[in-house]
């Protein structure tokens, strides 16, 4: 009996250690993919966009093509490149600098990269498509203590789920949805200030959901030319 008790305790400890190891392994894979996808997307930005000093990119984060500026094709941001069968990809948001040198804008752009993974809701698909940036209409972010929540319209709620990214285009704040409180209210992982302008997310392909990694924020200079 004593031996069986010791064995049971030992097996419980092994099971606990195994579970912790699996979770660590999953987080490590996610971190590696986030870094690979982020580096790949930044390289595409640097290769695709040009600095003219007077361009159409606004002083708030924006992304093509949903904002009317199709400067990066979402399929080019798949990982591996241009592979619709891959669940991995990224969305890029870019903001022009507010500082100027004389009458010319400085060449130092704020870039936000949101790595994502597409998860089919039913069955499997050989063509997963891409996640498209989308502006949420009539949404609000409220904070109580250490908890922030976002309330959206019924029409926009279809684009949000646990793992969806939230991007405030005006103040660089980002978060990921932690849980769903109701059909239109979602709890966020990070404490955010109240949103003052447009808030964006990633709209998944049909019959899929998008699970996002924490956005990568960086700055980059662009080659001289015309955007």
Say if residue 196's pLDDT is above 80: no
182 lies in some domain: yes
Q: Tell me: pLDDT of 127 over 80.
A: no
The tokens describing 69, both together, are: 């500026």
Split into its structural domains, the chain has a count of 1
Q: What's the per-residue H, E or C state across 122-157?
A: CCCCCCCCCCEEEEECCCEEEEECCEEEEECCHHHH
Q: Is residue 174 part of a domain?
A: yes
The pTM is what?
A: 0.79
pLDDT reported for residue 52: 74
Domain that holds residue 6: 2-221
Write out the two tokens for 41.
Answer: 């997307």
Residue 227 lies in a domain: no
Cβ-based neighbour number of residue 147 at 10 Å = 12
User: Quick one: pLDDT at residue 67?
Assistant: 43
Q: Looking at the domain assignment, is residue 54 inside a domain?
A: yes
- For residue range 92-125, what is the model confidence (pLDDT) as tens digits? 888 876 667 666 778 888 888 999 999 998 776 7
């Amino acid at each position: 009996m004593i031996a069986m008790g010791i064995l049971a305790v030992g097996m419980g400890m092994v099971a606990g250690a195994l579970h912790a190891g699996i979770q660590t392994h999953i987080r490590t894979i996610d971190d590696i993919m986030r870094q690979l996808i982020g580096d790949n997307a930044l390289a595409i930005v640097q290769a695709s966009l040009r600095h003219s000093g007077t361009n159409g990119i606004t002083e708030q984060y924006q992304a093509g093509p949903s904002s009317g500026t199709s400067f990066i094709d979402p399929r080019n941001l798949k990982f591996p490149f241009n592979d619709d069968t891959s669940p991995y990809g990224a969305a890029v948001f870019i903001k022009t600098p507010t500082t100027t040198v004389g009458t010319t804008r400085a060449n130092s752009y704020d870039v936000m990269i949101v790595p994502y993974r597409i998860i089919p809701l039913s069955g499997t698909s050989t063509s997963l498509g891409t996640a498209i940036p989308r502006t949420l209409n009539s949404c609000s972010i409220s904070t109580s203590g250490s908890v922030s929540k976002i309330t959206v319209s019924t029409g926009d709620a279809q684009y949000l789920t646990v793992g969806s990214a939230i991007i405030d285009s005006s103040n660089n704040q980002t978060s990921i949805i932690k849980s769903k409180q109701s059909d239109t209210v979602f709890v966020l992982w990070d404490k955010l200030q109240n949103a003052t302008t447009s808030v964006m997310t990633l709209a998944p392909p049909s019959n899929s959901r998008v699970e996002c990694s924490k956005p990568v924020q960086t700055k980059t200079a662009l080659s001289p030319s015309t955007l």
